Amino acid sequence: MSPLTGKTVVVSGVGAGLGHQVAAAVVRDGGNAVLGARTEANLAKSAAEIDPDGAHTAYRATDVRDEGQCEALAALARERFGRIDAVVHVAARDSYFGGLEDADFATWQSVIDVNLLGTLRMTRACLPGLKERGGSVVFIGTQSAVAAPSQVRQAAYAASKGALTSAMYSLARELGPHRIRVNTVLPGWMWGPPVRAYVQFTARTEGVGEDEVLRRLTGRMALPELASDADVADAAVFLASDRARAITGQSLLVNAGELMR
């Protein structure tokens, strides 16, 4: 039996990259995937690719900054499939760059509203369903929260994800009596649309080949290639499944061995 057979997983932030891969892995492993993101067209495209006959997917346009929309996505999962067994949080604002000296704190607040508070809103919306049978909450964090990269500055993103990882410990204690597990996946440089764009931009800017930019990145890693968004999705789906039934309050780096802790 597949590890998610008969289970329903809510996935926030489904677009062309990691969110799509998480939803695809849920369906591949026998589960039902309920997709949320702000753009309905992206959801429809993802669902059609993952599940052409629509038997194992449902979707609703969802902005995690809006509590009512989070509740509506959780309600869709229960209406369509009768249960919520896990929620994987991919929705994030990761496109704001910079450090402290050039910080626009209004933008920092918007990053925190999505990455920290939006994740917590969506988690709370799913709690009634999760409490019925127990289940799993999986946060997508970032390696940058524990080791700042030298190539780019994303202080706001790292701070928001670091706060989310800290919240994980409290939630693991609070929700554990309901048999709800809470864990975090920490991707490093992850081959998918954002990193592909970084490699292409850097190669054009510096007048070097994309292979050279990739070589610099992989040269820092124990394994000779970047983890992919599918690799990160597999880790998230493992934590969502009963195969991780005794794991809670943990952070798992998926980074090809760039950082070891």
Cα 143 to chain centroid distance, Å, stands at 13
Q: Which residues pair with 12 in a beta bridge?
A: 36, 89
Q: What is the reported pLDDT for 99?
A: 78
Burial of 139 (0-12, 13-18, 19+ CB in 10 A): buried
Q: What is the pLDDT of residue 135?
A: 97
> Does residue 155 surpass a pLDDT of 90?
no
Q: Which of 59, 157, 169, 198 is catalytic?
A: 157
* 94-108 confidence digits (pLDDT tens): 776 677 888 788 998
Closest listed residue to residue 91, CA positions, set 149, 144, 170, 161: 161
Tell me: the pLDDT tens digits for 58-103?
999 999 999 999 999 999 999 999 999 999 999 988 776 677 888 7
* 157 among known catalytic residues: yes
Q: What is the chain's Cα-based Rg?
A: 18
Section 107-116 average pLDDT: 92
Say if CB 70 and CB 122 are below 8 A apart: yes
- The pLDDT assigned to 152 comes to 67
Q: How far is CA 122 from CA 24, 68, 74, 139, 233, in A?
A: 20, 10, 8, 11, 19
pLDDT for res 193: 84
192-226: pLDDT as tens digits: 888 888 889 889 989 999 889 888 888 889 998 99
CA distance 144 to 170: 21
Beta bridge partners of 253: 186
Could you tell me which residues are beta bridge partners of residue 154?
Answer: 98
Q: 188 vs 248, which has greater pLDDT?
A: 248
The 10s digit of each residue's pLDDT in 25-41 is 999 999 999 999 999 99
Specify the 3-state DSSP secondary structure of 233: helix
Give mean pLDDT, residues 35-48: 96
Mean pLDDT over 124-147 rounds to 93
What is the share, in percent, of the chain residues with pLDDT greater than 70?
Answer: 97
User: In one letter, which amino acid is 127?
Assistant: L
Four-residue CA torsion sign, 250, 251, 257, 258? negative
pLDDT surpasses 70 at 149: no
Strand partners, 185: 140, 252
User: What value does the mean pLDDT of the chain take?
Assistant: 93
| Residue 153 burial (CB count, 10 A) | 17
The pLDDT of 238-244, averaged and rounded, is: 97
pTM to 2 decimals?
0.92
